[in-house]
A = this chain, B = another copy of it.
Amino acid sequence: MAHQTELNIHTTRKHECVDVTELISRTVSDSGIKTGVCVIFVPHTTAAVIANEHFDPNVAHDIINALDELVPTNKQWRHPEDNAPAHVKAALMTGSLSVPVTEGQLATGRWQGIYFLEFDGPRTRKLSVTVVG
């Protein structure tokens, strides 16, 4: 059994960590699937998805900042459009995340949230969610 949904995310800044935990959790409960996995996929090339702490928003800030230092803007990139670093960050972070579904709920850990990472906003983005079980 597979249940698929496409969510819309509106980002408001160049770099942003959008907490999508509630959106994904609701999609999983609505799917009616009790045991399985929820596959979150970013159909974009300058954005990513991760699971990490969402109680202290500083963690998201530290992740965004660390990526900025690892992939600096002021380098000689071949790809034009000024967004080569955004592509490299998306590649480093990955665009798919699979989270278990247990007793009909998204089974993230106690401190974990799901973040949509925007590296080239603001934009209207899609997030694909497939629940298989």
Q: Which residues of A contact B (CB under 8 A)?
A: 2, 4, 35-37, 39, 41-45, 50-53, 56, 58-59, 61-63, 65-66, 70-71, 77-80, 84, 87-88, 90-100, 102, 107-112, 126, 128, 130, 132-133
Q: Once the chains bind, are B56 and A4 in contact (CB under 8 Å)?
A: no
Asked whether A91 and B50 contact (CB < 8 A) given A97-B96, A100-B41, the answer is: yes
| Most chain B CB inside 10 Å of its own CB: which residue of A59, A61, A70, A132 | A59
Q: Once the chains bind, are A112 and B43 in contact (CB under 8 Å)?
A: yes
Q: Once the chains bind, are B44 and A112 in contact (CB under 8 Å)?
A: yes
Q: Once the chains bind, are B39 and A45 in contact (CB under 8 Å)?
A: no
Report the copy number of this chain in the oligomer. Answer: 3
Closest 7 CB pairs of A and B: A43-B109, A58-B78, A45-B53, A58-B79, A2-B36, A96-B98, A66-B88
| Most chain B CB inside 10 Å of its own CB: which residue of A92, A108, A133 | A92
Q: Once the chains bind, are A98 and B100 in contact (CB under 8 Å)?
A: no
What residues on B are CB-neighbors of A98 within 8 Å? 39, 41, 96, 98
What residues on B are CB-neighbors of A91 within 8 Å? 50, 52, 63, 93
What residues on B are CB-neighbors of A130 within 8 Å? 35-37, 100
